[in-house]
Amino acid sequence: MLYILVMHEKYNHQEIEKKWQEKWKEQKLYETLDEVKGKKNFYTLVEFPYPSGNLHIGHWYAFAVPDIFARTKRMQGYNVMFPIGFDAFGLPAENAAIKNKVDPKKWTYDNIAFMEKQLQSMGNSFDWSRKVITSDPEYYKWTQWLFLKLYEKGLAYKKKAGVNWCPSCNTVLANEQAVGGKCERCGTEVTQKDLEQWFFKITDYAERLLSDLDNLKWPEEIKTAQKNWIGKSEGTSLKFEIRNSKSETIEVFTTRADTLFGVTYLVVAPEYEKMEKWKEEKIIKNWDEVQNYINETKSKTEIERTTWKKDPSTGSGQVKTGVEIKGIKVVNPANGEEVPVFVADYVLGNYGTGAVMAVPAHDNRDFEFAKKYGLPVKEVIQPLITKEIGEDAFEKDKPVIERRSVVAVIKHWSEDKYLGAIWKKTGWQGFVIGGIEEGEDAKTAGLREITEETGYKNVEFVKTLPGIINARFLQRVKNQNRLAHFEPVLFRLKDGERAGVVEEEKILQDLKWLGPDEFEKFITHADMQIVWQRAMGNYCYTGDGEMVLGCRREGILVSSGEFNGLTTAEAITKITKKFGDKVTKYKLRDWLLSRQRYWGCPIPVVYDPQGKPHKVPGKNLPWLLPEDVKDFEPKGESPLVTSKELKERTEKIFGNGWKPEFDTMDTFVDSSWYFNRYTDPKNDKEFANKEKLKNWMPVKRYSGGDEHTARHVLYARFFHKALFDLGLVNEAEPFVERMNRGLILGPDGQKMSKSKGNVVDPDELVEKVGSDTVKMYLAFIGPYNETGQYPWDLGGVVGIRRFLERVWKIGLKIESHSAEASGDKKLENQLHKTIKKVTEDIENYKFNTAISAMMIFLNELEHTNQVSKGTFDTFLKLLAPFAPHMTEEIWNSPTSLKLRGANESSIHLEKWPKLDETKIKEEKITVVVQINGKVRAQFEAEVGISEKGAKEKALALPDVQKWLVDKKIKKIIFVLNKIVNFVV
Ligand code: ANZ
């Protein structure tokens, strides 16, 4: 019997997509039961959207692509939950209210309704029955309940904290709204204002947030971003006594206690706590000047203060500024030296102790500062550079030959150029160098070397560059393990007159004149880099074990009394032990959670007439957001203060004189626990039942945006750990796997924005080419497990559409004898290779290469005359997660059903194609290698290996090489799949 699949001639995506979306909804295809017999639960999640009003292509990228993964897991036999909801509180609702005079609630819920429709047009396998909306009282009741649990545990507290404040708008600004120290809206200078604020004590969890990362199966870059955000630093606290005041000290935090003898001044932050006390005691002689400086720094953001190189795009990060605090001097505990104290804003008040010991010789910022204010630079760490990578790597266990050597930095007579030397044998690039002989000093040795090695005759000594640079490496020409003590000297040529160079030298090295910028890049070793920096006037050496140019940069102590000769690491331990204490600091700050905003979750706290805070009792939750607020204009206080209802409610429940908390919560609180709610979204007794949580948590894979790595994901981990400690959840980590996606750019390669006119409208596109095409194009644009940036390419969209049309057409064309496999071995092999590739790639979120594999297979299909229904169906199943509507239509076309002898059923309930390893095994053959007809060796190869390939394989065999030494190959005789014969 001969069948022809008959379908609509035209691939009418509009009709098909609408039809199946309705059917799936009717059939409740994606509603997930808590338990299904014989199936394991699998929870995959994508960050829920903010209801901004209109889906853009970024939303499509975020939601449509991970659906491929969810669908695949379902076909692989898991009971998959793939939920969706809305992160519905937040500032834009209020801004819209101010601008268009609409109610923030109405604005939000209208947007949600509209976006739900748009999201449904994606045809995702979302379980809509589990939808959560964070601004629903049924949801935020539990946000409040959880807040109170943390409060009871001492993890939520109130304290005064500095916030960015615009005196003209009368409002608090987020850091992003205070760029360059100016208010984003009106341009007024931003100041700092202290307000009572609520905090979560996330810092209590810093260590666990850090160490538990080790057990997570996350990409390294995400872990690193979190680690950096937590910013653990192990160091030393040291006390510097204020002169003539035995009781008072300035305590500093340093990671480089080894540099203690090099301290030439101290710096305190403008916010330093003892400043007020000093002012009152009138010990600061120049208080006006100091106060002026402190006021000036108030408008600067932390980023401006800590970037020490000027950023040309923003103009921020000037050379460091500061003022000496006259009247105060401190004593170095190590050597009794007296040093001045400065106030400077490059030191932050909220890190370490807010005070720093400044070591200009070994810290870049201190060096810049010292240069600017004429403060001494005292070297206490001599560089020790060890070549560890490369052919000239130092061999640790071998004997070492020690040498004094001069490094001659030679300036051109008329141009701004310096003489570079290239060692021909080794490729080493640097300066003219040479040994310092008995009785010579560096200067004499330098002059001698220059004459010998370069031939230049008229050389002038400029100066000795202070300091010695120790370097360990393998001298390759002599094959000697070396410890060189380099002494750099600066020379200048008077003119270009040159005598012949000794022949031997000429062979060993080439010489080259290079400008300053070129020279930096020319240098191949870290020791010569330091010479260059010193020649350019930079005497700051910061090495503490890092690798640069294949060299490890370490140091040895000098001018440090009893500690001389120790390495940095040894000295840190010993100096800490003798003069200070070991301490650990974190960059992570407590989480400021209160907002002076309307559209957020009310903080469920009330104050008695004495101003003491009390919890709103459980029976009064949800503590409703009042609806009688009309003015959302920010005034530095929460708009909730204007609510009569809230005040009356508070007094009615708690008594006269009681006041509510007016602040609302940061929306990051709402999103720190929402994934738990999906497991039990309708529960009105608990935030989620523990058994239900156990069914689903932890989330197996969580996809989201790069920008949420440090904040949302870290906050959610903190919250979950706190809930775990409270016994409310079953595990300490909420997300087994986290993946960050990339960014879709406009067709012009720029970030999409309305003002640039490069925004791609998904609705229009879906209308034109269909949801399946858009989704599949986005999956094809780049690997989904990386955070790359991908420009939108209409040509690519067309390409995908064409691919789907070809699949469609093949359905019309295929002739088949039966529903069983055809005998085509090659096609079968290809099919199983495709199964393997697509399955693995989906698992790794590399949807792009999975699609490529299917494209290759489609080519094969098109070039095969007879394709069995079984083969085509398998292919269709692989494609189903990517193009769910079209594959469903083909699967359920009348002919297809007839062929399968089945009734209508969803392809998405089918089993994922199984890989048969035996089908992809390449057959191997043994090729014999002969030399002059005698068998000398043999090798394994794939069937059909080419002559060239076989020859290369044969020549690589030692047994063959042995017979060919000193022989010339005259001819090669090749017998396919059998013999390579060399005639010599
Ligand atoms: C002396 C020193 C010498 C330092 C040297 C570095 C190099 P991390 O690793 O980030 O923790 N520091 C300490 N508190 C600071 C503050 N509140 N604001 C700005 N800088 C501060 O950095 C620790 C180092 O940063 C400390 O070690 C201190 O400078 C500086 F050759 O002390 B160091």
pLDDT in tens, 164-188: 778 877 767 766 566 667 777 788 8
- Relative to beta strand 432-435, strand 429-430 is unpaired
Interhelix angle 712-725/137-152, nearest 10 degrees: 60
Between the CA of 353 and the centroid of ligand 1 the distance, in Å, is 10
Distance 549 CA to ligand 1 centre (A): 25
Q: For residue 362, report the distance from its CA to the centre of ligand 1, in Å.
A: 11
Tell me which residue of 751, 589, 467 sits closest to 161, measured CA to CA: 589
pLDDT at 815: 53
| Contacts (Cβ under 8 Å, ≥6 apart) of 915 | 832, 835, 836, 839
Q: What is the pLDDT of residue 309?
A: 55
What's the gap in Å between 254 CA and the centre of ligand 1? Answer: 5
Query: Which DSSP helix (H) or strand (E) runs through 703?
Result: strand 699-705
Mutate-to-test residue for ligand 1 from 228, 255, 346, 379, highest number of ligand atoms within 8 A of CB: 255
CA–chain centroid gap for 500, Å, is: 57
pLDDT of residue 504: 63
Cα 366 to middle of ligand 1, angstroms:
10
Task: Say whether pLDDT at 459 is over 80.
Answer: yes
In a mutational test of the pocket of ligand 1, which residue from 362, 363, 369 has the highest number of ligand atoms less than 8 Å from its CB? 363
Residue identifier of the C-alpha nearest atom 7 of ligand 1: 363
Q: Which of 98-102, 300-304, 885-889 has the lowest mean pLDDT?
A: 300-304
- Coil/strand/helix, residue 76: coil
Which residue did the predictor score with more confidence, 711 or 701? 701
Residues with CB under 6 A from ligand 1: 233, 253-256, 259, 269, 347-348, 351-352, 354, 356-357, 359, 362-363, 585
How many angstroms separate the alpha carbon of residue 798 from the centre of ligand 1? Answer: 55
DSSP β-ladder status, 338-344 and 265-268? parallel
The per-residue pLDDT for range 353-396, each reduced to its tens digit, is: 999 999 999 999 999 999 999 999 999 999 999 999 999 999 98
How far apart are the C-alpha atoms of 218 and 226, rounded to whole Å?
11
pLDDT of residue 6: 43
Tokens of 789: 């940036």
- Residue among 782, 792, 721, 795 at smallest CA distance from 750: 792
Residue 269 CA: which ligand 1 atom is closest? Answer: 17
Q: Take atom 8 of ligand 1 and give the residue whose Cα is closest.
A: 233
Identify the pLDDT of residue 315. 45
Looking at the CA of residue 362, tell me the nearest atom of ligand 1.
31
Residue 730, SS3 per DSSP: coil
Q: pLDDT tier at 300 (50, 70, 90 boundaries)?
A: confident
Q: Angle 13-27/884-891 helices, nearest 10 degrees?
A: 80
Among 254, 364, 588, the mutation site with the greatest number of ligand 1 atoms within 8 A of its Cβ is 254
- Check residue 165 and report its DSSP letter: E
CA 289 to chain centroid, in Å, comes to: 42
- Over residues 401-416, the mean pLDDT reads 96
CB 122 within 8 A of CB 60: yes
Tokens (6 digits) for 345 = 């804003």
Residue 200 β-bridge partners: 156, 591
The alpha carbon of 302 and the centre of ligand 1 are apart by a number of angstroms equal to: 15
Is residue 820 scored above 50 in pLDDT?
A: no
DSSP assignment string, 661-673: ---EE-HHHHTTS
Nearest CA to ligand 1 atom 20: 347
Residue in 154, 83, 110, 230 with CA at minimum distance from that of residue 682 = 83
Give the Å distance between the CA of 205 and the centre of ligand 1.
23
Please report the pLDDT score of residue 101 as a whole number: 86
Least confident of 623-637, 809-823, 877-891: 809-823
- In this prediction, residues 317-328 reach a mean pLDDT of 84
Nearest alpha carbon, ligand 1 atom 31: 362
Q: What is the pLDDT of residues 563-595, one digit of tens each?
A: 999 999 999 999 999 999 999 999 898 998 998
Q: Which of 274, 269, 272, 287 is nearest to 245 (CA)?
A: 274
Take atom 5 of ligand 1 and give the residue whose Cα is closest: 363
Q: Which pLDDT does position 126 carry in this prediction?
A: 96
Q: Is the pLDDT of residue 320 over 90?
A: no
State the closest ligand 1 atom to the C-alpha of 350, by its place in the atom list counted from 1: 17
Ligand 1, atom 22, residue with closest C-alpha: 255
Measured torsion, CA atoms of residues 477, 478, 484, 487, in degrees rounded to the nearest 10: -60
Mean pLDDT of 446-473: 95
Per the model's pLDDT, the better-predicted residue between 463 and 301 turns out to be 463
Q: Give the mean model confidence (pLDDT) for residues 201-230.
A: 94
The residue among 337, 323, 324, 330 whose CA lies nearest residue 262 is 337
Distance of CA 876 to the CA centre of its chain: 37
Residue 836 half-sphere exposure, CB side, CA atoms within 13 Å? 13
pLDDT mean across residues, the chain: 91
pLDDT of 819 reads 39
**Could you report the per-residue pLDDT of 58-86, keeping only the tens digit for each?**
999 999 999 999 999 999 999 999 999 99
Residue with the nearest Cα to atom 32 of ligand 1?
254
Q: Which of 646, 669, 667, 666 is nearest to 658 (CA)?
A: 646
Q: How far apart are the first and last CA of the chain?
A: 62
**Nearest residue CA, atom 2 of ligand 1?**
256
3 has a pLDDT exceeding 50: no
pLDDT at residue 405, as a whole number: 97
Asked if pLDDT for residue 523 goes beyond 60, the answer is yes
What is the whole-number distance in angstroms between the Cα of residue 351 and the centre of ligand 1? 9
- The helix or strand, by DSSP H or E, that contains position 929, with its residue range, turns out to be strand 924-931
Lowest mean pLDDT among 3-17, 334-348, 482-496, 920-934: 3-17
Mutating to test ligand 1, I would choose from 233, 234, 251, 256 the residue with most ligand atoms within 8 A of its C-beta, which is 256
More confident residue, 902 or 676: 676
Assign 319 a pLDDT band (cuts: 50, 70, 90): low
Confidence of residue 507 (pLDDT cuts 50, 70, 90): confident
Residue 95 pLDDT exceeds 90: no
Reported confidence tier of residue 616, pLDDT bands at 50, 70, 90: very high
Cα 801 from Cα 770, distance rounded (Å): 9
Which residue has a Cα nearest atom 25 of ligand 1? 254
Taking the centre of ligand 1 as the mean of its atom positions, its distance from the CA of residue 255, in whole angstroms, is: 6
Share of the chain above pLDDT 70, in %: 95
Query: How far apart are the C-alpha atoms of 68 and 477, rounded to whole Å?
Result: 59
Q: What's the 267 CA to ligand 1 centre distance in angstroms?
A: 11
Query: What's the gap in Å between 262 CA and the centre of ligand 1?
Result: 14
What are the φ and ψ backbone dihedral angles of 588, each rounded to 5 degrees?
-55, 130
**Per-residue pLDDT, 812:** 62
Nearest C-alpha neighbor of 63 from the set 92, 42, 84:
84
Of 418, 645, 672, 368, whose CA–CA distance to 532 is shortest? 418
- Which pLDDT band holds residue 114 (cuts at 50, 70, 90)? very high
Length of the chain: 984
> Cα separation of 697 and 690, whole Å?
10
pLDDT digits (tens, 9 = 90+) for 25-51: 999 999 999 999 999 999 999 999 999
What's the mean pLDDT in 644-663? Answer: 97
223 bridge partner residues: none
Ligand 1 center to residue 347 CA distance, Å?
9
Model confidence at 216, pLDDT cuts 50, 70, 90, reads very high
Q: What is the distance between the alpha carbons of residues 893 and 878, in angstroms, rounded to a whole number?
A: 18
Cα R_g (the chain), whole angstroms: 36
Does 983 have pLDDT greater than 80?
yes
pLDDT band at 316 (very low <50, low <70, confident <90, very high): very low
Annotate 188-213 with b (16+ C-beta within 10 A) or e (fewer): eebbbbeeebbbbbbbbbbeebbeeb
Mutate to test the pocket of ligand 1, among 356, 367, 584, 586 (most ligand atoms within 8 A of CB): 356
Q: Indicate if the pLDDT at residue 304 is higher than 80.
A: no
- CA–centroid distance, 918 to ligand 1, in Å, is 61
Q: Which residues lie below 8 Å from residue 966, measured CB to CB, with a gap of 6+?
A: none
Name the token pair of 384: 């020790």
Distance CA(891)–CA(895), nearest Å, equals 9
Q: How far is the CA of 236 from the centre of ligand 1 (A)?
A: 10
The closest residue, in CA terms, to atom 9 on ligand 1 is 233
| C-alpha atoms less than 13 angstroms from C-alpha of 864 in its C-beta half-sphere | 25
